[in-house]
């Protein structure tokens, strides 16, 4: 397994864990869970992000934050270009979908700021998870091709 593939796999799972913690954090506000739950989740979330950065730096030698930080050579860069292109296209479509969704929600009578914000957060969260899965799937697909 190439270094780039290992980085992609680690990033996928660590992002997935981060998203779960983020969902818990969001849920604690939406469903009025005790403040302690929110505080502990926020601390774990911050720790998880620091751990991700630390692990990438010490185990995969990622020292720079740039577009193709995981690309080991020209083939990896080629794969990264194709994956990023597809993901950007998806994210653009998703953003347009989000705007349409807000418009439809307003038409449907969801005018409360809290309700609307909750919907937007939930849709945005779904987009993040889908995008993460798309990145991992496409990288595996192009790397195997």
User: Interface with other proteins by CB under 8 A: which residues?
Assistant: 2-4, 72-76, 78, 143, 145
- Give min distance, CB of 82 to other proteins, in A: 12
- Give min distance, CB of 126 to other proteins, in A: 33
When the beta carbons of 51 and 141 are compared against other proteins, the nearer one is 141
Quote the DSSP letter at residue 73.
S
When the beta carbons of 4 and 22 are compared against other proteins, the nearer one is 4
Residue 46's alpha-carbon distances to 50, 78, 113, in angstroms, are: 6, 33, 27
When the beta carbons of 74 and 113 are compared against other proteins, the nearer one is 74
Name residues whose C-beta falls within 8 Å of residue 130's C-beta, 6 or more positions apart in sequence.
90, 94
- Give min distance, CB of 1 to other proteins, in A: 8
- Give min distance, CB of 71 to other proteins, in A: 10
When the beta carbons of 77 and 84 are compared against other proteins, the nearer one is 77
Contacts 24+ apart (CB under 8 A), 132-136: 132/12, 132/15, 132/16, 132/19, 133/12, 134/86, 134/87, 134/90, 135/8, 135/12, 135/83, 135/87, 136/8, 136/9, 136/12
């Amino acid at each position: 397994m190439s270094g780039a593939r290992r980085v992609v796999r680690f990033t996928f799972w660590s992002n997935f864990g981060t998203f779960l913690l983020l969902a818990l954090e969001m849920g604690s506000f939406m469903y009025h869970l005790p403040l302690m739950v929110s505080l502990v989740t926020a601390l774990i979330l911050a720790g998880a992000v620091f751990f991700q950065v630390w692990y990438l730096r010490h185990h995969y030698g990622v020292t720079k934050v740039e577009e193709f930080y995981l690309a080991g050579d020209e083939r990896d860069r080629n794969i990264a270009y194709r994956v990023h292109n597809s993901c950007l296209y998806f994210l653009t479509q998703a953003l347009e979908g989000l705007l349409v969704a807000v418009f439809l929600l307003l038409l449907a009578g969801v005018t409360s700021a809290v309700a609307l914000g909750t919907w937007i957060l939930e849709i945005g969260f779904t987009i993040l998870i889908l995008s993460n899965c798309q990145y991992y799937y496409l990288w595996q697909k192009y790397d195997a091709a």
